[in-house]
Amino acid sequence: MNSFAVQLPIAWQGTVGSLIAQTGLVAKIVLVLLLCFSVFSWAIIYTKWRRFKTLRIETEQFLRAFRKAQRMAEMNVMAEHFGGHPLKSIFEAGYREVTAQVGDPGGALRNPAAVARSLQIASSEQLSRLERNLSWLATTGAVAPFIGLFGTVWGIM
């Protein structure tokens, strides 16, 4: 029997805790590093899951209000109830461009391409906000297996 294992409390012998206690410094660093990657990743995943769940419900409400509105000005008033929803920001960008072109109600659009561009820019901005921290998950997914492989090779050596 290993002399180090005898020093461990009886409850720890033969457990994951005893295995970790018997590892070297490099293995412990690898395990802590992987644990940190895991905790941060799960926190991001949970946060994104909650955000998308909320957005799905609010999107249905926004689209229902949008379809119900008879005029854009009416929808602009209703949009105030949707806080920081991405569709609200996209609608407001399009509404600003349309009102800048039309001026008085009933006028014709002078440049529909400018409205489309305004909507595309607002859409890209909102997509960038929704994708925030996803690069961390991609990096973790790419790097963590190699860190684990390094720990395995180090342990075998």
Measured distance CA(40)–CA(34) in Å, rounded: 10
pLDDT tens for residues 97-151?
Answer: 888 888 766 677 888 899 999 999 999 999 999 999 899 999 999 999 999 999 8
38: pLDDT confidence band, cut at 50, 70 and 90? very high
The alpha-helical segments, DSSP class H, found in 10-133 are 16-21, 25-68, 72-78, 86-102, 112-130
Angle, CA 66 vertex, CA 129 and CA 130 arms, to 5°: 10
For the whole prediction, is pTM greater than 0.75?
A: no
Contact call for residues 94 and 115 (beta carbons, < 8 A): yes
- What's residue 5's pLDDT? 47
Angle, CA 80 vertex, CA 79 and CA 84 arms, to 5°: 90
- What's residue 84's pLDDT? 84
Query: How does the average pLDDT of the chain come out, rounded?
Result: 86
